[in-house]
Chain A
């Protein structure tokens, strides 16, 4: 029999799907908060949501991140394109013990629906929520939809914080059990008004943000300027900042993204570097690793958020080659010794064609 594996850090001994024990000073019972509060360099990534009703699609897409990331973002119809909902993805992921970061976009739901979803998600074991404004409907595949935008990212943060800390709905009605959550927000230091952006981060912290994930960073000097200002204001001590990074597939895609996806800033130097490369895909990956190596040295940066849309298979390589984990292995779904025993016994019952009488069983047992 295989020896029982050592218990992984941040895992409930009675079952991987159970919430962790509450720790003092922690607002959630999730793994991501523990990693960040321990001061370890965190890695999060994004799951490409399937256009299907098959749970296996979600599990297969999550499996490739096993052992490389501390959190998986379940996107809420990003780019206003319809996919499986973030609530649905989180329901599936929490069953398997993953640590999803549930994104909520204000585009599709009003405050009644959002508060209900927050309670439902927390009940399923979602420990992290990322509050977003969301892209406009004109960007997606159904531009005729009604844009809701009842709340904005800031008032959404505040709403969830009130539910968690005051145990109340926005209306003041009491919750019997408040949700225990780690609250996140998004920042984009690469879009104007540039001098407002650091202050805007401060506003998000005031509204309740405990961690932020940034938009794709391709311009490190620009990010450095932003971080200098953030450090001057002392915001890096009040919230964990994860830098968004990702590989570009080719110079052509980079140009397309720059022209068509609002809010992503790609300097000419990056495109030139990609164009000059023999294997553009490989160069794109290398570029991402180089950017990670640069930003991880900036003080105040607590982790990276690797967004490899349709290149998810490279996330593990990028994390490995950049060495940000420093030998640490994030949680990974593994069979424990008791699971192993059950599996062996089942194997025996199902496949070994034995017809034992009770008398024989007693004899073999002694």
Chain B
């Protein structure tokens, strides 16, 4: 048997015809290249329960500060908050600033790091070792998400069907949006009670 001879597909022909040079980009997709190392991201997933606990306190604190945000004006605080949010979440989760954070529903594994940006579960191409189909060296975002969600108290939020990303909200602060929405629902609830 001539097992060593690989089958020639259209894709191999294209790859062969591509111009050759000494410089080869490190990863396959531009998606992967802009993010830094994913070691910290994996740490966050391993400690998803701790982060979940922290996040809920953090959200409460933000909600407490709602009068302050409102006095300064949400539009005016957005720039500094976004600056901090982007860097903190970028370091912890390789955040892509989609503006609609679903970390609590995805086991603290940011789904925007998936090369297909899937927000509802893994695709069918996950490798047998649990790595990504597109980026062979990266652990599948959704394999990790499932592991992370199993550690969380409200981990079953992973079963909710997520709406498609609203691209017009890219590069905006999810923290402020969630706070403003929570404040609005609190107000309507108190109005109804009264």
A interface residues (Cβ-Cβ under 8 A, vs B): 81, 106-107, 111, 133-136, 138-143, 147, 149-155, 158-159, 170, 186-188, 191-193, 195-196, 199-200, 202-203, 206-207, 215, 251-253, 255-256, 262-263, 265
Contact = CB atoms under 8 A, between A and B. Distances in A.
B118 A262 contact: no
B68 interface: no
A215 B140 CA distance: 19
Interface of B: 1-3, 6-7, 9-11, 13-15, 28-29, 115-128, 130, 133-134, 140, 142-143, 146-147, 159, 161-165, 167
Contacts of B124: 133, 186-188, 191, 215, 263
Nearest to B167: A150
A130 B125 CA distance: 17
Contact of A152 (B2, B119, B128): B119
B121 A203 contact: yes
Contacts of B1: 251-252
B134 A138 contact: yes
Given A154-B162, A196-B146, A199-B159, A81 B117 contact: no
13 contacts: A81-B10, A133-B116, A135-B125, A141-B10, A152-B116, A154-B120, A154-B161, A159-B164, A186-B124, A192-B122, A192-B126, A192-B127, A262-B126
Q: Which of A133, A152, A202 has the most chain B CB atoms inside 10 A of its CB?
A: A152
Interface majority SS on B: helix, strand, loop or mixed? loop
A263 B3 CA distance: 22
Contacts of B140: 192-193
Contacts of A154: 119-121, 161-162
Contact of B147 (A111, A139, A193): A193
Contacts of B10: 81, 140-141
Contacts of B9: 141
A66 B119 CA distance: 39
Contact of B127 (A111, A136, A143, A262): A262
A151 B164 contact: yes
Nearest to B164: A155
B133 A150 contact: no
B164 A133 contact: no
A237 B128 CA distance: 29
A193 B142 contact: yes
Nearest to A256: B7
A136 B133 contact: yes
A290 B106 CA distance: 40
Nearest to A259: B6
Contacts of B7: 253, 256
- 9 closest Cβ pairs, A-B complex: A188-B124, A154-B120, A262-B125, A262-B133, A141-B10, A155-B164, A136-B134, A263-B125, A191-B126
A211 to B, nearest CB: 16
Given A206-B161, A215-B124, A255 B134 contact: no
Contacts of A138: 28-29, 134
Contacts of B122: 191-193, 196, 200
B161 to A, nearest CB: 5
Q: Which of A138, A193, A263 has the most CB of B within 10 A?
A: A193
A349 B45 CA distance: 78
A202 B159 contact: yes
